[in-house]
Amino acid sequence: LAIIDNKILLVKQYRYPNATDTLEIPAGKLELGEDTKLCALRELEEETGYSAKSITQIAKFLPTPGYSDEWLYVYEANDVFKVENPLNCDEDEEIEVVAIDIDKAYQKIVNGEIFDSKTMIAIMHAYINKRKI
Dump the DSSP string for 93-127: ---EEEEEEHHHHHHHHHTTS---HHHHHHHHHHH
Model pTM score: 0.91
Assess whether pLDDT exceeds 70 at residue 132: no
**pLDDT tens digits for range 28-53:** 999 999 999 999 999 999 999 999 99
Q: What is the CATH number of the domain that holds 53?
A: 3.90.79.10
Which residues are part of the catalytic machinery? 91
Range of the domain at 33: 3-132
DSSP H helical ranges for 1-133 = 36-48, 102-110, 117-128
Please give the tally of structural domains in the chain.
1
